[in-house]
């Protein structure tokens, strides 16, 4: 199967130049061992009840377009992964992160931090309520802008399946210009990072719904 992931070195994304490993990776003949084939267990008691609702973490309502983002975490064989920890973080509607290093002159929203987490249910499903993030500039090259995205971090059943990625929105005009999105070699793989607007997920008079499934790498024992 063709590797869907970007290569480490992708010079269009300048920060890869000094950070991409240059030596060949070591591929152990025996594959991962029993530690690497397992993954931490997370419990519901470790999460807050509203951790998956990014619109209710402050006293007021955040500014922006309220959205629902939901989908399933699946393993390489298409089976749901229950009790998987899914963490998200994102910019606010104006394209600003509440991070000291973010110098974009767009307003912060006192009612929006932009971080959430949840555990998948028995069907592998996660669900977040949030605000549609804005695009924002970065200094990779002249007039560089990131397409709107939500960062996702996911645990599978093996530590080797650990995935950090970004979910994008359909039809973003910035896709062709974004070296991070374009670092994925094949267009069909890039498209796996784009969520799908879904009328059935949309809640009348309240929020637009988006579906996005996350497929982890093969459970290494089956590789």
Partner 1 sequence: MTTPSQTVGPFFGYGLPYEGGSELVPGWRPDAIRVRGRVLDGAGEPVPDALVEIWQADGSGEIPRRPGGLVRAGHDFSGFGRCPTDAAGGYWFGTVKPGPVGEGAPYIAVLVFARGLLKPVFTRLYFPEDGAAHGTDPLLAEVPAERRATLIAEREGEREYRFDIHLQGERETVFLGF
Pick out residues in 154-213 that bind partner 1 (CB under 8 A): 159-160, 162-166, 180-181, 183-184, 189-190, 192-193, 213
Provide the phi-psi class of 174: left if phi over 0, else alpha when psi is between -120 and 50, else beta: alpha
Stretch that binds partner 1, among 57-65, 91-99, 121-129, 200-208 (CB under 8 A): 91-99
Active-site residue flag, 141: no
The residue among 67 and 89 lying less far from partner 1, judged by its C-beta, is 89
Taken in order 16, 18, 23, 27, the sign of the CA dihedral is: negative
If the CB atoms of residues 78 and 176 are measured against partner 1, the closer one turns out to be 78
Cβ atoms < 10 Å from Cβ of 223: 11
Check 72, 96, 117, 146 and give the catalytic one: 146
Per the DSSP assignment, residues forming a β-bridge with 168 are 149, 194
64: nearest Cα among 74, 54, 72, 73: 54
Smaller CB separation from partner 1, 12 or 203: 12
Identify the active-site residue in 56, 125, 151, 162: 151
* 168 token code pair: 């994008």
> In the annotation, is 168 catalytic?
no
Q: Of residues 27-66, which lie at the interface with partner 1 (CB under 8 A)?
A: 27-36, 38-43, 45-47
Residues 94-153 interacting with partner 1 (rule: CB under 8 A): 97-99, 101-102, 113-115, 151, 153
Alpha carbon distance 177, 146 (integer Å): 8
**Structure tokens given for 27:** 């591929």
As annotated, the active-site residues are 97, 136, 146, 149, 151
């Amino acid at each position: 199967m063709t590797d869907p992931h970007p290569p480490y070195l992708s010079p269009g994304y300048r920060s890869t130049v000094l950070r991409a490993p240059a030596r060949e990776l070591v591929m152990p003949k025996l594959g991962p061992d029993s530690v690497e084939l397992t993954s931490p267990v997370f419990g519901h008691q470790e999460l807050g009840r509203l951790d998956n609702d990014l619109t209710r973490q402050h006293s007021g309502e955040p500014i922006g377009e309220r959205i629902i983002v939901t989908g399933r975490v699946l393993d390489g064989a298409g089976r749901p992964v229950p009790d998987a920890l899914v963490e998200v973080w994102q910019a606010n509607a104006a394209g600003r992160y509440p991070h000291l290093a973010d110098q974009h002159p767009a307003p912060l929203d006192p009612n929006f931090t932009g971080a959430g987490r949840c555990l998948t249910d028995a069907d592998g499903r996660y669900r977040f309520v949030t605000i549609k993030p804005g695009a924002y500039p970065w200094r990779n090259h002249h007039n560089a802008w990131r397409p709107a995205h939500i960062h996702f971090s996911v645990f599978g059943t093996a530590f080797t399946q650990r995935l950090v990625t970004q979910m994008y929105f359909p039809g973003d005009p910035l896709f062709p210009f974004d070296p991070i999105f374009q670092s994925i070699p094949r267009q069909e793989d890039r498209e796996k990072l784009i969520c799908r607007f879904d009328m059935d997920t949309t809640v009348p008079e309240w929020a637009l719904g988006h579906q996005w499934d996350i497929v982890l790498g093969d459970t290494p024992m089956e590789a």
